[in-house]
Structure 1
Amino acid sequence: MDWMTVLVRFALYVVLMLVFGLPLFQLHALRKPERSSVLAKKFANLAVALAVVGIILSTISMVLMVKAMSGAADFSAIEEHMIEMMLTETSFGMAWCLRIAMLVLFVVAGLFVSRAHTLRLCILSLAGAVALATLSWGGHGAMDEGVRGELHLAADIIHLLAAGAWVGALAVFVLMLVWRYGDGPADIALLSRTLNGFALMGTVIVGSLLITGAINYWLIVGPTFAGLLSSQYGQLLIAKLFLFALMLALAAANRYRLSPLLERAHISGEHREAITALQKSLLFETACAFLILVLVAWFGTLGPMTE
């Protein structure tokens, strides 16, 4: 097991999902005047910093891929023509170039499009979406050709974007609570409104993950469950599904129990207990999401159903 590759893959998943998910959720949940608030500026600055980290991680991932594909004994043995060949003659390399371009656009727009807040969020969301989508060419999504390959890539991209939207929303909620943005009545009202407003978006996200997840399983493994328990790939997939089910349960609790509790607490003014319960639930849900991304980074390096 190449743990360096797994670690970089995991970090890329987390960073690029946040790069996409943070501005997308602001675009979805914040009203126009709120997009120029101090809170929105904090999220924008964080997203720009993450985009820079994404460029660094992408560079490391390219070096690791060149080393693996060339069979070089160590990094010092990598020659310039190997990198050039990877960048210009492989789909992974071309996707990598597109990712870097989108991340640079993200940083430029985040830093210099400062007055048109809605336009900036649109640019950031689009650039982040494309950057995240390029990760599909580094996993099982690029294993097929023809119509089957196009279907696999499309399903993989939608799966990534749905996951990125969920991770971004979780990050927004957690950071609002961690940054103590929740003590005043206006803060509680915003938190309550965005939580309730996430219901429809959350339903679309979960539906997209279920459908594309099933398509990906069928394209990678086939219409069979044989080998799920005996192969490492299958065991990791089962662990991922268990964590996903746990996330669904926590999201349902947030939607149907904690969000109404927060809304009632906002009206009564006694919101500390509701905030604490919500914070614990969201942190647990976020931890599950991170564990899922660790598993995805791991079994993305494995052949399906291999011992």
Structure 2
Amino acid sequence: MDELSPYGLRLALYLLSMLLFGRLLFVRPALPRGIFLPLTAGALALVGVDALARVSSLLGLPAADIDRDTAIWFATGTPVGVATTLRALALLLAFVLLLPTATVRGARRLALLVLAAAALGSLAWNGHAVAGDGLAGDLRLGAGIVHLLAAGAWVGAIAAFLQLALRRQGPGLRHRTHQLWKATHRFALPGTAIVALLAMTGTYSYVDLGGSLHTLTGTAHGRWLLFKLGLVAAMLLLAALHRWRLVPALAVAIHAGWQPRPLRSLRRGLACEATLALLVLACVAVLGTLDPRA
């Protein structure tokens, strides 16, 4: 159980950071402050736990024995520590911005989106993207940041669609279903761009790290990556099913006589896609701890 805890911590940190960024990016339907506040507070708490775990692992010290000087050294004297400090500051500022009012829109939303992007992008320092110096290292790090932001956008879109799809029955159900149709229909172009960014940055990072067909099948990292790619392929198949079958069927149900079956089918598809996304993030949590060449 202790061996699994670092992976669980990484998974939770990735998930909350991506949900915060992605739901700020896709504001429809709007989320109340009562959701954003716990997301931000939870991510901030996880940053602190992650920092303690990293210092403890790095120096071989129990968390209780980490003193002030050691914490300052980690926070200011190591690249991962500096990224952790910036992540904590971004989340703390986001939390403060959320306190005064229940509305999350306009300039406030833009500021929160920038802070959430900074917090999510800083997680690139937690993985292989930070390995390297000079121009090659900068390109690798940039690809890692873009990959994280694109993944956060995808996770946020799934969460937004699920929020629309899982609304309770009532007199406004048909109108809310029309909102769901519009949101999923308009996501076609952004969704294609997100997938393209994920594919390009993921391929570049793997090849840049020395990955090959041999390491893809002959190493633990490669086998986990293959499993992750299989999950992503399943998500893409579901996305294609949504775009070409379920969303058009939903449009017919709305305009040619109300039928609840297409809505139920889309709900199940979105729930499956969310489950697959969670499994992909679990793979990411493991992959960040494995050597791509060994």
Please give the range of the TM-score, normalised by the shorter of the 2 chains. over 0.9
- 1:93 matched to 2:81? The reply is yes
1:84 Cα deviation from its structure 2 partner: 1.2
Structure-1 separation of matches of 2:185 and 2:167: 20
In the alignment, structure 2 segments of 5+ residues that lack a partner are none
Residue 45 of structure 2 is aligned with which of 53, 56, 60?
56
Structure-2 separation of matches of 1:68 and 1:303: 17
- 1:46 matched to 2:47? The reply is no
Partner of 1:15: 16
Structure-2 separation of matches of 1:140 and 1:102: 22
Report if the CA contact (8 A) 1:70-1:82 is conserved: no
Report if the CA contact (8 A) 2:164-2:179 is conserved: no
Partner of 1:36: none
In the alignment, structure 1 segments of 5+ residues that lack a partner are 31-38
CA shift in 2, pair 1:184/1:138, >3 Å: same
1:176 Cα deviation from its structure 2 partner: 2.1
Q: Secondary structure at the match of 1:40?
A: coil
Report sequence identity in percent: 34
1:268 Cα deviation from its structure 2 partner: 2.6
1:143 Cα deviation from its structure 2 partner: 0.9
The RMSD of aligned alpha carbons is: 1.7
CA shift in 2, pair 1:277/1:116, >3 Å: closer
Structure-1 separation of matches of 2:276 and 2:266: 15
Partner of 1:69: 58
Structure-2 separation of matches of 1:271 and 1:160: 38
Q: Secondary structure at the match of 2:9?
A: helix
- 1:206 matched to 2:190? The reply is no
Deviation track 1:178-225 (CA, whole Å, cap 9, x = no partner) reads 232785232112111111011111011000000001111012124x21
Deviation track 1:90-124 (CA, whole Å, cap 9, x = no partner) reads 11111111111111222222232555722222122
- 1:282 matched to 2:267? The reply is no
- 1:156 matched to 2:144? The reply is yes
Residue 80 of structure 1 is aligned with which of 68, 76, 82?
68
Partner of 2:117: 129
Number of aligned pairs? Answer: 292
Amino acid across the alignment from 2:99:
L
Structure-2 separation of matches of 1:175 and 1:256: 21
TM-score (ref. length: structure 2): 0.94
Q: Secondary structure at the match of 2:156?
A: helix
Amino acid across the alignment from 2:39:
L
Q: Secondary structure at the match of 2:216?
A: coil
